[in-house]
Amino acid sequence: MKKKITVIGSSNVDFLIKTNRLPRMGETITDGVFMQTYGGKGANQALSASRSGGKVTFISSLGTDDYAGTMVRNFNAEGIDTRFMYKKKDAATGTAMIMLDREGNNYITVAPEANYLLTPACIDAALNVLLESEIIVLQMEIPWETTEYIYSLAKKHKLKIQFNLAPFRPFDDKVLKDTWVLAVNETEAEGITGLQVVTDDDVRNAARALVDLGAEHVIITLGAQGAVAATRDRFLEVPAFSVDSVDTTAAGDVFCGSLAVALSEGRSMPDALRFAAAASAISVTRLGAQPSIPHRKEIDTFLESS
Ligand code: ADP
């Protein structure tokens, strides 16, 4: 039977223009190709968890525009429980503007809009769902007050939290003591620890520092270099699968969503990490965020043939 996972986080509509090169300040470039997609770390991780085999409830705050309606319909069609995808009156859905050049360099600006209207009361309304979940999956694109509230509920009811501390912004690190799995990339690890994370030794030191801050399992993802995982008494290297990468957007989100599913199924950490590495490797071979997210069958087949 599918295990229950609750993802609480952002939903965005992404407007992407790809040009040969990025503009300088004040410059207009007119050779762009336009693509509108749906994203937000919360939404990407919810979709990844659902496609990799979880029974997912997504708690998120959207506006009342047409984008919100389409997002909820899409997620319903994916089999995700959308009862707590709130449509906030008079609000706009979170929006990201992405400029991309042909080498994959980008400028991204985000307007959180309705994402910042996800209040503790929105979480309370879904308390029963949280209580039934094997894992609660969080990121950093909702109000910090709400994240702290979710942590207080998790502490009270002994719920497991997987926290992808992304994008990094200053926060109260006392929550790490109540974090079951902390997943970050190098930049976020640097932000939290204040340590430089460049060499293999740096990665080990940062992982150790994050364990010292209280997270039970620490995972640092390293793009095409794979990931490392640490606990108080273990250190594990997780190689990335070798694939032809065309777009790494949302690789971290696919990693987190699929990891939560594998862990919810009671797999060991090394097994779960291999599953997540496979899911994210598949996703980087395809363009776009949500369209690139693989299904369980593909992940299992990929693992069997690797
Ligand atoms: P983020 O997008 O959060 O920075 P990463 O770039 O570290 O996350 O990617 C997360 C995971 O996705 C990696 O640990 C790795 O398993 C996988 N991954 C990322 N890029 C590649 C790649 N080029 N080839 C294979 N796997 C990749």
How many angstroms separate the alpha carbon of residue 140 from the centre of ligand 1? 19
Using a 6 Å CB cutoff, which residues line ligand 1? 166, 185, 221-224, 226-227, 240-241, 243, 245, 248, 251-252, 255, 277, 280-281, 284
- Give the torsion through C-alpha atoms of 28, 29, 34, 37, to 10 deg: -60
At 271, list the tokens: 């097994």
How many other C-beta atoms can be found within 10 angstroms of the C-beta atom of residue 105? 10
The answer for 278, left when phi > 0, alpha when psi is -120 to 50, beta otherwise, is: alpha
Model pTM score: 0.96
pLDDT tens digits for 63-88? 999 999 999 999 999 999 999 999 99
How many other C-beta atoms can be found within 10 angstroms of the C-beta atom of residue 174? 11
At 74, list the tokens: 């899409």
253 is catalytic: yes
Give 247's pLDDT tier (boundaries 50, 70, 90): confident
| The ligand 1 atom nearest the CA atom of 222 | 7
CA 120 and chain centroid, separation: 20
Tell me yes or no: is domain 4-10+39-92+113-305 CATH 3.40.1190.20. Answer: yes
What pLDDT does 122 receive? 98
**Which residue is associated with the tokens 């939404």?**
43
pLDDT tens digits for 37-68? 999 999 999 999 999 999 999 999 999 999 99
CA pseudo-torsion sign 136, 139, 141, 144: positive
Task: Give the three-state DSSP class for 166.
Answer: coil
